[in-house]
Amino acid sequence: MHGFAYQNGSLHCEGIDLQSLAEEHGTPLYVYSAGTIRDHFTRLDQAMTGVDHEVAYAVKANSNLSVLRLLAGLDAGFDIVSGGELFRVIEAGGNPAKCTFAGVGKTRDEIEYALKQGIYSFNVESEEELRYLNTVAAELDLVAPAAVRVNPNVDAKTHKYISTGKSENKFGVDFEAIEDLYARAAAELPHVKLRGLQMHIGSQLTSIQPFVEAVEKVTPLVLTLKAKHGIEFWSIGGGIGIVYHDSLAAGSIDWWDAKSEQDRPLTLTQYGATLVPRLKDLGLKILLEPGRAIVGNAGVLLTRCLYEKQGTAKTFKIVDAGMNDLIRPALYEGHHEIVPLKEPAGERKLVDVVGPICESGDFFCQNRELPDFQPGDTIALMSSGAYGFVMASNYNTRPLPAEILVDGTTAQVVRKRQTLEDIIAAER
């Protein structure tokens, strides 16, 4: 569910008319709903009641300082993948002692910075990295808290670019190799304290089944590590999927209620209800690392239609946002529902919605039947709160869009639109 819906014929975010935001701040424009972010976080946190747990928001999904501040205010933990993300979390008032640091390629600078800040755990992805962590910690005369990422070799059944839990992916250490690795580390690496075990099987999972499979497969391993090495936490990763295709309708509880049990996509409540019984008696702290599930449906990208171009084979609606602003369709065939801000009356048309960038991959949809919006009209690309702005670039020397955070009836600019001067400043 989320805070975007038509009110009096005009698409709103909570109590704010999106058309008025587009007019005041221009387009392309990212708009986030604070209420939705809070609701998703709280829902997941409550769904895990009965288990000692922590929800560590995956910062890479949306790292705007105001979004992080909002989550820090809810006492969230944070899963980071770079020194830069740790810097943002600290700037936003997040607690480093609740940060876990993931990623296959941490540099010396990043390790030193995170060690000095006292993060909760380095989630390590290879024996080589674990040994290097030991070396850096020894030089600083510190002990690095660590967990190894196990690759459970289960099929997350998601897009190949966002599947991470199979043996052929670059992530983690093979399931079969973990026990020996912990034994070697305990014997040979005095500046590493093995504190937990981590896994993350992929992103945008819309069924509970791969999560269950992974949890059941890894449970005996995690209990062995607890008995032998005294580990205290198990991070079961992120990856909870969201609704992209019926994004607007799925903002309302009615859409969910009308679906049968089998047809209903995974909810945060179902995730908790299914996993809590399997996790509650392990005597371990359970960490969750959701990104998309917290912010994905809490954001839209507003863009204005510039032209309608009648090609010989197709009709193109050309808009002022491009793949540099939202790359998901080009990068992994991501689907975003397209919704005019003015509630459509009826006429629909088969179109491609494309951006101004000089790339054939610069499209938001192809051959999709859409309400027949016109040049001058503004549309919303739904479900753009995760992996949207954070992946934006200056390709074609286009300034990064502004970001707005709506909370009830207030709307705040949480990132100014970049200027052309900003773009070239470092080249002068």
Ligand X SMILES: *Cc1c(COP(=O)(O)O)cnc(C)c1O
Q: Which of 13, 305, 358, 365 is catalytic?
A: 358
Sole binder of ligand X in the list 44, 47, 58, 214 (CB under 6 A): 58
Using CB under 6 A as the binding criterion, the count of chain residues that bind ligand X stands at 17
Using CB under 6 A, which of 145, 165, 172, 238 touches ligand X?
238
The reply to whether 196 sits in an annotated binding site is: no
Task: Identify which of residues 40 and 200 has a Cβ nearer to ligand X in the complex.
Answer: 200
The C-alpha angle with vertex 233 and arms to 147 and 185, in degrees rounded to 5, equals 30
Minimum CB distance to ligand X, residue 359 (Å): 25
From 145, 291, 334, 340, residue interacting with ligand X (rule: CB under 6 A): 291
Pair 342, 9: CB distance under 8 Å:
yes
* 359 labelled binding-site residue: yes
Nearer CB in complex with ligand X: 236/354 = 236
Provide the H-helix boundaries in 9-156.
18-25, 34-47, 65-73, 83-91, 108-117, 127-139
- Site residues for ligand X, 172-201, by CB under 6 A, read 200
At a CB cut-off of 8 Å and minimum separation 6, what does 242 contact?
Answer: 204, 265, 292, 293, 296, 297, 383, 386
Give residue 107's identity as a one-letter amino acid code.
T
Tokens 């204005």 belong to residue: 304
- Among 129, 289, 325, 377, the residue binding ligand X under the rule CB under 6 A is 289
CA gap 136, 259 in Å, rounded: 53
271 is in an annotated binding site: no
Choices 84-92, 258-266, 290-298, 325-333; region in contact with ligand X by CB under 6 A: 290-298
Is residue 38 involved in binding ligand X (CB under 6 A)?
A: no
Q: How far is the CB of 146 from ligand X (least distance, A)?
A: 14
Residue 358 annotated among the catalytic residues of the structure:
yes
Q: Could you say whether residue 299 binds ligand X (CB under 6 A)? A: no
Contacts of residues 390-393 at CB distance under 8 Å and 24 or more positions apart, as own/partner, are 390/60, 390/61, 390/62, 390/63, 391/326, 391/327, 391/328, 391/331, 392/324, 392/325, 392/326, 392/327, 393/324, 393/327
Q: Is position 328 annotated in a ligand binding site? A: yes
Shortest Cβ 296–ligand X spacing (Å): 8
Stretch that binds ligand X, among 1-9, 20-28, 58-66, 276-284 (CB under 6 A): 58-66
* Nearest distance in Å: CB 346, ligand X: 37
Is 289 labeled as ligand-binding? yes
Neighbour count for residue 128 (Cβ, 10 Å): 9
Residues 377-396 binding ligand X (CB under 6 A) are: 386
- 159 token code pair: 């897009």
Order of strands across the sheet that contains 10-13: 4-7, 10-13, 16-17
Q: Which residues contact 329 (CB under 8 A, 6 or more apart)?
A: 323, 335, 336, 363, 364, 365
Most distant pair of Cα atoms in the chain: their distance: 71
Q: Does residue number 203 form part of the binding site for ligand X (CB under 6 A)?
A: yes
Told to check if 77 binds ligand X by CB under 6 A, we report no
Q: DSSP of 372-405, one letter per residue? A: ---TT-EEEESS-SSSSGGG---TTT-PPPEEEE
User: Is 132 within any annotated ligand binding site?
Assistant: no
239: contact with ligand X by CB under 6 A = yes
Question: Per CB under 6 A, which of residues 80..109 are in contact with ligand X?
Answer: 102
Q: Stretches 7-15, 64-72, 206-214, 236-244: which one binds ligand X (CB under 6 A)?
A: 236-244
Distance CA 131, CA 154 (A): 27
Segment interacting with ligand X, rule: CB under 6 A, options 55-63, 302-310, 325-333, 405-413: 55-63
Q: How near is the Cβ of 128 to ligand X at its closest, in Å?
A: 18
Question: What is the distance between the alpha carbons of residues 269 and 240, in angstroms, rounded to a whole number?
Answer: 11
CA distance 74 to 419: 33
Binding site for ligand X (CB under 6 A): 58, 60-61, 79, 102, 200, 203, 237-240, 289-293, 386
Please identify every residue annotated as catalytic: 358
Known binding residues: 239, 289-292, 328, 332, 359, 387
Known binding site for substrate: residues?
292, 328, 332, 359, 387
